[in-house]
Amino acid sequence: MRNLNISIRMNRKAFITRSSSLVAGGFLISPYSLFSTGKNIIGSNDRIRVGTIGLNGMGWSNTKAILKTPGVELAAICDVDQNVIQKRQQELQKMGIKVSVYRDYRALLDQKNIDAVIIGTPDHWHALIMIHACEAGKHVYCEKPIGNSIGECNAMVAAQERYSRVVQVGQWQRSQQHFQDAVRYIETGVLGNIRTVKVWCYQGWMRPAAKVPDSSPPKGVDYKSWLGPAPLRPFNSSRFHFHFRWFWDYAGGLMTDWGVHLLDYALLGMQASLPKSIVGLGGKFAYPELAEETPDTLTTLYEFDRFNLVWDSAMGIDNGSYDRDHGIAFIGNNATLVLNRGGWEVVEERQSENKVAKPLVKPTDNGVEKHTRNFIEAIRANNPAAVHCSAQQGAHVATVAQMGNISYRSGQKLIWDKAKNQFTDNQINTTYLTNTYHNGYNLPKS
């Protein structure tokens, strides 16, 4: 992703060269639209060729998972860090896999025999790459959260709908059986009226990095391309790779890192849309001396018509509710259903006589592998609606997570105007609804 100080539509010279003055209906066709035919671009023998953009963390985990689906071939990899590229090449060599290698994601998108891409970059790059990939006729598996602002989420949904690509958001719990079974149990009504849903995330292993001086980027890192649309600032190792999560330029802390997984099932279980009001309170209470902007402790209250939803997160400790470090609790008149990655159980209300207690139901499958397989199945069916977490669904929960962060950052209780799809406070909308792009990059209007 070399930095060419250009906008999302590429620089004018390259645009003119590649577009060859193609015009349709009075509008110049984007160079990426040349490959968008409305049909799958599936290779010979029904093989689906995938390229991965961003090879650290979940980008690599998703790649290894998708290769377990028969008929899938890894055709290309891309990363702005040559050190990561070399590491993955060595691993691929041991697997007997040869791929094309890129540092600029747009060059990977130009590889015509690639049918789909996996986006595993830091959050602030998701929108541009996803939109460009859809324009290029590629299907997209995008890591969560789908966007780094509500405005980005809207633009990404618009791109998926405009180009009719199959887009799966990496909220893999939607493909895991015990999560699905828990929601079906809630739908039976056995819990009684649910008045509160508690969502918590206590992550003892997650702590910000130590504060260190700015420095030169590591050798092999194209730092300007890593920044992309984020503000230009000196390199600092405490903001780089895994720790990008704790800085507003690139992500949204635990709220968007784990929150989109957990809030997702809270919303699914309650069949809820968007909250009426939001209050987020927290701060750097645990590690004020470490390098972070996002809160290490956060409590957010979401008001819905029939219930309240409470988000509670803490970095560096594990002692969460119900003796679990993460989870969702649906608190009903008759019983409470407690759900997390370790399974689900039903705890009966002490005064209840319904005998609805249910012992722990443990997981039996691999959610990431099932989620990537579902993505491939949707591509083969040429059916964007067949994915378990569409762009629209990913945008829904990412929007709710962003609402909590915006309330915390602004220090205000926020009211959502459903009709206008924005907050009632225009100053909040101007400041926070869509993040500002820098360095010549622009976000397309949704």
Reply yes or no on whether the pLDDT at 94 is more than 90: yes
- Average of per-residue pLDDT across 411-417: 98
**Residue 248 and residue 149 in one domain:** no
What is the distance between the alpha carbons of residues 218 and 84, in angstroms, rounded to a whole number?
12
* Pair (231, 105) in one structural domain: no
Q: Please tell me the predicted confidence (pLDDT) of residue 118.
A: 98
Tell me whether residue 357 is in a domain.
yes
What was the pLDDT predicted at 263?
Answer: 98
Do 167 and 71 share a structural domain?
yes
Residues 316 and 239 occupy one common structural domain = yes
Residue 197 buriedness (CB in 10 A; 0-12 / 13-18 / 19+): buried
| CATH number of the domain encompassing residue 338 | 3.30.360.10
pLDDT (tens digit per residue) in 419-446:
999 999 999 999 999 999 999 999 987 6
Closest listed residue to residue 294, CA positions, set 315, 277, 274:
315
Average pLDDT over residues 291-298: 98
Judge if 58 and 139 occupy the same domain.
yes
CA 57 to chain centroid: 13
Q: What is the pLDDT of residues 15-54, one digit of tens each?
A: 323 333 222 222 222 333 333 333 444 544 589 999 999 9
Report in angstroms the alpha-carbon separations of 326 from 54, 83, 177, 199. Answer: 27, 33, 18, 8
Residues 6+ apart with CB under 8 A from 257: 145, 245, 251
Please state the rounded mean pLDDT for residues 118-127.
98
Same structural domain, 231 and 284: yes
Q: Are residues 165 and 50 in the same domain?
A: yes
Q: 385 or 355: whose pLDDT is higher?
A: 385
Mean pLDDT computed over 306-326: 97
- Please determine, for residue 110, whether its predicted confidence score (pLDDT) is greater than 60: yes
On the question of a cis peptide bond just before residue 208, with omega within 30 degrees of 0, the verdict is: no
Q: Which residues contact 408 (CB under 8 A, 6 or more apart)?
A: 280, 281, 282, 295, 298, 300
Same domain flag for 196 and 76: no
Verify that 214 and 115 share a domain, yes or no.
no
Domain residue limits at 266: 177-364+398-433
Mean pLDDT of the chain: 91
| Total domain count, the chain | 2
Q: Does residue 157 have a pLDDT over 90? A: yes
Per-residue confidence (pLDDT) for residue 51, from 0 to 100: 98
Which comes out higher in pLDDT, residue 36 or 246? Answer: 246
| Radius of gyration of the CA atoms of the chain, in A | 22
Per residue in 164-183, pLDDT (tens digit) is: 999 999 999 999 999 999 99
What are the phi and psi torsion angles at 78 (to 5°)? -145, 135
Give a yes or no: residue 438 inside a domain: no
